[in-house]
A and B are shown apart, each in its own frame.
Chain A
Amino acid sequence: MQNLKQSILVSVWFVFLTFPLMVVRVNTMDNIVVWRWESLVWVAYEAFVLSYFWRFLMQRKAVREKALAANDNLVELIKNDSLVQNNFIFVLLVLLQIVPAFFYSFVLPWSYLFGFFLLAFLLAVGIRKYQYRKGLGSFARVDEAVSDKPRLNLLENHSFRIRAQLVILTISLIFPLVVDTYQSNIMISALIYVVLGLGLNISVGLAGLLDLGYVAFFGVGAYSYALLNHHFGLGFWVTLPIGGLLGCLFGVLLGFPILRLRGDYLAIVTLGFGMIFKVVMENWDALSFGPSGIANIDKPGLFGIDMDLAGSTVYIYYIMIALVVFTIIVTNRLKNSRIGRAWIALREDEIACVAMGIDMARTKLSAYALGAFWAGMVGVLFAAKTTFINPASFTFMESAIILSIVVLGGMGSILGVILGAFILILLPEYLRAFSEYRMLVFGASMTLMMIFRPQGLISNLRQTYQYKGSKEMSDNG
């Protein structure tokens, strides 16, 4: 009863809140007002449903935090979880999302979106239940802590990982041969975001330096190829490392003045750098040809062989795959290296880290430079792929997309970032009807992730070291 009252209140509040923007639509030129009353009904209904959902999640979060603090048995806790038990209610909620279909108006896509959200959640709960029954995932970790059983987490199983990697690599190599050019092109852009996400992951995920102007480095790479190609006729392969190095250089240049800043200040300054880059590129006609951009950039060549459009797409796809593999290997090695551990230390506590004798300037600059390096390289590839660039490709929204990839996937987690890039780039491509709603979802998911799952979809597994001399040594990749 208490719940019902609260939800009705929330519903009324949101009806009030969204009234002018969702219901009234005024055209001040022709003096016409359109009243969209049906969205009012929809907002009321949706706010009611979501407030229930929200309360459930909040309660659950509170219970978990309490249990973790008290070192309680997590398994028992999750087993008795109200959400896991009340699956039925949520199936009903998802199904009820069809109701607004009868309105058939502009609220329709919104309500399907919410439906997807709930469905995804349901799926996650289902997976957890399955894991619980089979003793997998985090349940295994708790079990192990309780009962000394060996770990069953698949991601930590070395031989499984190698097999999975081989399978994924084979699929990705065959992929362009079985699908058409359009699909390959989409996949290339998704892969571009994978590399960008992994690059940003170095500064945001590992070193904890929130960079909101990351797209500027991407732009530096793209423009360096476009300009070198336009003025000097330099080829793709020559410019690829140059673009990366220029990105690196810019990372260091921009990193220097902001060494002393941290957290939120840093975010705003990097945002400023991103904007400066765009404004300069728009106005410095002599260098960048202004808003009209640079066209007719050469595609990458292969020993002078002429290729048709389909052929060159496949070729770029393979270059991209190689670049992605290279990025994954290098970032993975970096993560577990001395400098990578320094980054993580810096992220966790700057002052303590410096007190331990880590050179802050070098650590921060290297995080920036290495993050920017990937953006520069992939920028060159982007310019080669689209053969046309202008400043409009390097807006804050791009930085925000890359950031939400990292946040959604899991800060610091390589696998998570890759998954995040595929979800955020491929889903809107294939769900065309919702592609305008993509930024809305990105924004909302950033907030929701921070509140309910700050570690991201796939949390970063901490490297664990074990004494190998013991008798029962578990296989630990």
Chain B
Amino acid sequence: MDYFLELFFGGLTRGSIYALIALGYTMVYGIIQLINFAHGEIYMIGAFVALIVAGVCTIYGLSGVSILILAGIVAVIYASAYGYTLEKIAYRPLRDAPRLSPLISAIGMSIFLQNYVLLAQTPDFLPFPRLIPEFAFMEPVAYILGSPELVILVTTLVTMILLTLLIKKTKIGKAMRATQQDMNMARLVGVSVDRIISLTFVIGSALAAIGGVLVASYIGQVNFYIGFLAGVKAFTAAVLGGIGSISGAVLGGLILGWAESFAAGYISSDYEDVFTFGLLVLILILRPSGILGKSTKQKV
């Protein structure tokens, strides 16, 4: 039972990170029907910037939690800036192009950003300082759910609640929903569509950066390649839940996290990634619109 619970919480933690990244995919896809292939790289850049800030701060003698918060904030700012720039340079000029063009452009940007970090920094894994403190009250259950996991779960939960409030209650959220439903109509009623799209990229990137910082301080290492796999898995989560749907992304992330955790725990950890992609292929065959997605009619 303990083993089961350990896997359960492990999957939950993992799944909530996937959900954070998947939200970026789903929000962007919902508005401009583009798979932002470079989203995983934004996540990686978030983690890397956090590492750099944390490293510099450690050397100049700051203490644990304050570093984590500072690194988190800087990472979010930078990831958002990168997301914004990415949209402006690589996707905006292709808004009216055939559908394959922005996707190829996105793949190009993904490769570019990976290699940019590789060349500007290092190809090696860098150890990420353990910044999340061990809470004393978690001691009795630490073998099932450790403090870092708890921090991840709480942070994710808070972030998601904030995001939901932003989308459901604010004027910006209303404009985002309008743009998602009908871009031209939204433009007609005075929504600045370009700004909303930029904003979507900024928010998605910020969420990815939060995920990146949490994962990096949890796993304890970072390199230029971590974004790629995380990105593909988060995309799987988004598709699983139904791409374009925000609650779907969260649900998909959690399901994927559990599936991976249990499959790795009970079957074999070597083939963990195979399970993920197997799951992706299965969903796409059986229900391409995902669990919560609406199936749309195709027109010429």
Which residues of A are interface residues toward B (Cβ below 8 A)? 13, 16-18, 20-22, 24-29, 31-33, 39, 58, 61, 106, 110, 208, 210, 212, 257-258, 260-261, 263-265, 267-269, 271-273, 275-276, 279-280, 282-283, 349, 351-352, 355, 396-397, 400, 403-404, 407, 436-437, 439-440, 442-451, 454
Contact = CB atoms under 8 A, between A and B. Distances in A.
B35 A264 contact: yes
Interface stretch (B4-12, B126-134, B137-145, B149-157): B126-134
Given A265-B288, A267-B35, A272-B232, A17 B85 contact: yes
Interface of B: 34-35, 45, 48-49, 51-56, 58-59, 74, 78, 81-82, 85, 89-90, 93-94, 97-105, 107-117, 119-122, 126-129, 228, 232, 235-236, 239, 270-271, 273-274, 276-278, 280-281, 284-285, 288, 298-300
Which 5 A-B pairs give the minimum distances between C-beta atoms? A446-B108, A443-B112, A443-B111, A26-B55, A272-B277
B116 A21 contact: yes
B100 A451 contact: no
Given A257-B281, A403-B104, A440 B115 contact: yes
Q: Chain A contact residues: over half helix, strand or loop, or mixed?
A: helix
A20 B97 contact: no
B124 to A, nearest CB: 10
B93 A276 contact: no
B56 A24 contact: yes
Given A268-B235, A268-B239, A272-B277, A442 B111 contact: yes
A454 B97 contact: yes
B100 A263 contact: yes
Nearest to B33: A264
A51 B264 CA distance: 48
A210 B100 contact: yes
A385 to B, nearest CB: 26
B52 to A, nearest CB: 5
Contact of B108 (A261, A397, A443): A443
A451 B55 contact: no
Contacts of B285: 257-258, 260
A466 to B, nearest CB: 28
A448 B90 CA distance: 8
29 contacts: A17-B81, A20-B49, A20-B52, A21-B117, A26-B55, A28-B128, A28-B129, A39-B120, A257-B284, A260-B285, A263-B100, A264-B99, A267-B35, A268-B232, A272-B236, A272-B277, A279-B274, A280-B274, A397-B111, A400-B111, A439-B114, A440-B119, A443-B115, A446-B104, A446-B108, A446-B111, A447-B90, A447-B109, A451-B105
Nearest to B228: A396
Given A20-B52, A20-B78, A21-B116, A263 B103 contact: yes
A17 B82 contact: yes
Given A268-B35, A276-B278, 6 more contacts: A16-B81, A20-B53, A28-B54, A275-B277, A280-B271, A450-B108
B171 to A, nearest CB: 27
A210 B103 contact: yes
Given A33-B56, A33-B59, A280-B274, A451 B112 contact: no
A210 B298 contact: no
A397 B271 CA distance: 21
A208 B35 contact: no
A449 B102 CA distance: 11
A445 B55 CA distance: 33
Contacts of A445: 108
Contacts of A440: 111-112, 115-116, 119
B129 A450 contact: no
Give the one of A17, A268, A355 with max B CB within 10 A. A268
Nearest to B74: A20
Contacts of B112: 440, 443-444, 447
A258 to B, nearest CB: 7
B88 to A, nearest CB: 10
Nearest to A259: B285
B277 A261 contact: no
Contacts of A280: 271, 274
Contact of A450 (B49, B81, B102, B277): B102
Nearest to A348: B98
Given A210-B100, A276-B273, A21 B52 contact: yes
A21 B48 contact: yes
Contacts of B53: 20
Nearest to A35: B56
A149 B269 CA distance: 68
A447 B128 contact: no
A261 B288 contact: yes
Nearest to B58: A31
Contact of A21 (B121, B127, B235, B284): B121
B55 A279 contact: no
